[in-house]
Amino acid sequence: MIPTLLFKDVGLVKGKGFDSWRRVGAALPAIKVYNLREVDELVFLDISATLEDRRPDFASIDEYADDCFMPLAVGGGIRAAEDVRKLLQVGADKIVLNTGAVRAPEIIRAVAKTFGSQCVIVSIDARRRPDGSYEVYTHSGTKATGLDPVTHAKRAEQMGAGEILLTSIERDGTMSGYDLELIKLICGSVSIPVIASGGAGSMQDFVDAVTIGGASAVAAAAIFHFTQTTPLEVKKYMKQAGISVRMPQ
């Protein structure tokens, strides 16, 4: 169970279909809340870093990591292994590569070789084409790449990625359920864990992503920002459905 925090400009945002316009608060209070709720992991994505052609804000990550008592995965603006080194030094446990993994795929191999596959998450943002096929997008869902997500996922695995964070652009923020077809497509093509993201709107959606889609983990944002649903409630529901989940002590 992995909440996702999307950071833009000076705070957290959430929208629909990667149109992240709605302000939902500051990062530090959100991190402290998730500490109390004992989530499994937290994903922090600076969604404006690549669009603004800048590197990660290492000072801010350092500050957030000091108050984050769960594994922290950080993405946004990572261009080189040195960026990864700095992020790990200031407290990140994993890094998330998206645009960088498409623009210069060798970064996956370089990071995995230097720091280990366990800290490399390749994020794949996919949109369905009119013919029903899928295409990978970069730059926060604004640039089409012509890449097939299955091809991209397989390459990421071959180069040493430890996990894939898979997001449906159309489902993002809609709370209409995960794109199970997309999840099954990617889970069936790789052997590394796939984290399903984009569309969770009910507790059953989380269960479906695992039992039908085949995901190893589930990520969500809108359902935790805009409803009363908590990660613990989701975990309890998943456990009742027969899914092995890590429960608070």
pLDDT tens for the 249 residues of the chain, in order: 899 999 998 899 988 888 867 788 899 999 999 998 889 999 999 999 988 999 999 999 999 999 999 999 999 999 999 999 999 999 999 999 999 999 999 999 999 999 999 999 999 999 999 999 999 999 989 999 999 999 999 999 999 999 999 999 999 999 999 999 999 999 999 999 999 999 999 999 999 999 999 999 999 999 998 999 999 999 999 999 999 998 876
Question: Tell me, what's the pLDDT at 25?
Answer: 87
The model carries a pTM of: 0.95
The pLDDT score that the predictor gives to residue 20 is 67
CATH number assigned to the domain with residue range 2-240, chosen from the 4 options 3.20.20.70, 3.90.25.10, 3.40.1500.10, 3.40.50.720:
3.20.20.70
pLDDT for 41 equals: 95
SS3 sequence of the chain: CEEEEEEECCEEEEEECCEEEEEEECHHHHHHHHHHCCCCCEEEEECCCCCCCCCCCHHHHHHHHHCCCCCEEEECCCCCHHHHHHHHHCCCCEEEECHHHHHCCHHHHHHHHHHCHHHEEEEEEEEECCCCCEEEEECCCCEECCCCHHHHHHHHHHCCCCEEEEEECCCCCCCCCCCHHHHHHHHCCCCCCEEEECCCCCHHHHHHHHHCCCCCEEEECHHHHHCCCCHHHHHHHHHHCCCCCCCCC
Distance (Å, whole) CA 48 – CA 50? 6
d(CA 96, CA 41): 13
The domain segmentation of the chain, as residue ranges, is 2-240
Q: What is the pLDDT of residue 247?
A: 86
pLDDT at 231: 93
